[in-house]
Amino acid sequence: YTSAQTVTLSDATSGATIHCTIDGSTPSGSSPVCGSLTVSSTTTIKAIGTKAGSNNSAVASATYTISSGTTPINFGSGFTSSGLQLNGNATINGTRLRLTDGGGTEAGSAFFTTAVNVQNFTTDFRFQLTTPNADGMAFVIQNNGPTALGPAGGGLGYGPDTAGAAPFAGMSKSVAVKFDLYSNSGEGTDSTGLYTAGASPTTPFLDMTSSGVNLHSGDIFNVHMSYDGTTLKMTITDANNSAQTFTTSWTVNIPSIVGGNTALVGFTGGTGGLTAIQEVVSWTYNVTSVTKTPIVYETEKLPAASSGPPFRTLSWGGFPDGVGTILDSTKVGDNVTFTVNVAQAGIYDVQVSVKKFTLRSIWQLTVNGVNVGPQEDEYNPSEAYAVFDLGNVNISAAGNYSFKFTVVGKNSAATDWKMAFDTIKLTPQ
């Protein structure tokens, strides 16, 4: 949406009370009561319906993105200081964003002051390097704050200028793509590359020389980037000769690295003993939409290990496919661990479907030893299918993860300690 919205929440069950949260946490019966909300900035609303004598509803969740149209950043006709935080040597020169002005040992950065969605996007910018002797510039996505600014020289205002040096802590939550004029650590004088967490923007690198793209030409360069949640693609073209173009891509999980689905975006630049005037001529940033497909794991098909009690398949007509699993636990501390293989790093919403009954306990989920979501009670006076939304988990790298369900107690009305499961569902955020 391009302006504030009023969001109305309703429940088809007569007499239900709706509780909601807007801070990313899972709502409960103690969360604020919500009928309608005014959303003036990008917000995720999570809500449940409650009614005495009935089970709570599943968690409903929706994100409302508020931006100035489909282009939250639009300096397509040139720059003003409005909406930008300028740091170090960065200034507005006419309608251009100037990162360095030709002086020695300079560092400049400029970031759009409103965080934008970085899950899926395209961005286009034009830059020109005048008297281009050293050192270069970078396009940066970061969550360290609008005043973030790294070292001068070969650090390009982003990280250390020497390969292997300790990363710059001021860019610890960041991703950068460089355009490098000078060889500090063997990267050559016409290179690009992707760097994360404030690492030195020197090596590894990609040499663009053979493509005809020459950062020392003094020409204006057009850069187009697109990100689909998995792959960041970049094409740079000499505006004076469209045949001189270089295209590459990197597999990268940007939200995981920067620590959120939104971040600050902008540019950094640096000079050392040799110098350049480095300017961004124009810039637009567009948020794109990509459908996120949930990954559903049937617990009876997952590798599982019990702490001791029998763990078995459970047949029940209330499961969508008629079959689930049950741990015949008898006390606090009994647990079952499922090995879940996640093929792609990212931030995922976790939902667990269960069979509630009188024989059930209260459990806590941990993923690789870290609590995820609140304690959940499987007790119900009669057999019932339910889905618990446990909130988000950060899968930092593809691979196997231990989803461990541990008995932590039981409802005073419960007559046993068992836990029963159907599926574990991970939805990319």
| Model confidence pLDDT, tens digit, residues 85-101 | 999 999 999 999 999 99
| Residues in a beta bridge with 426 | 295, 350
DSSP per-residue string spanning 408-429: EE--TT-S--BEEEEEEEEEE-
- Across residues 175-200, what is the average pLDDT? 97
- HSE-CB of 15 using CA atoms within 13 angstroms: 4
Structure-model confidence comparison of residues 290 and 50, the more confident one: 50
Burial of 66 from C-beta contacts in 10 A (0-12 / 13-18 / 19+): middle
| Model confidence pLDDT, tens digit, residues 364-390 | 999 999 999 999 999 999 999 999 999
Question: Do 275 and 134 form a contact (C-beta atoms < 8 A)?
Answer: yes
Which uninterrupted H or E stretch holds 193? strand 191-196
- Across residues 49-56, what is the average pLDDT? 92
pLDDT band at 69 (very low <50, low <70, confident <90, very high): very low
Question: Do 350 and 372 form a contact (C-beta atoms < 8 A)?
Answer: yes
| Model confidence pLDDT, tens digit, residues 134-157 | 999 999 999 999 999 999 999 999
| Model confidence pLDDT, tens digit, residues 339-354 | 999 988 888 899 999 9
- Across residues 328-341, what is the average pLDDT? 98
Structure-model confidence comparison of residues 127 and 34, the more confident one: 127
| Model confidence pLDDT, tens digit, residues 14-40 | 889 999 988 778 889 888 888 888 777
> DSSP code of 168?
P
CA distance 365 to 219: 56
User: Residue 290 above 60 pLDDT?
Assistant: no
| Model confidence pLDDT, tens digit, residues 249-271 | 999 999 999 998 899 999 999 99
Q: What is the length of the chain?
A: 429
| Model confidence pLDDT, tens digit, residues 295-331 | 999 999 999 999 999 999 999 999 999 999 999 999 9
User: Residue 113 above 60 pLDDT?
Assistant: yes
CA distance 306 to 336: 4
pLDDT of the residue at 190: 97
Report the share of the chain in percent with pLDDT over 70.
Answer: 97
User: Residue 291 above 70 pLDDT?
Assistant: no
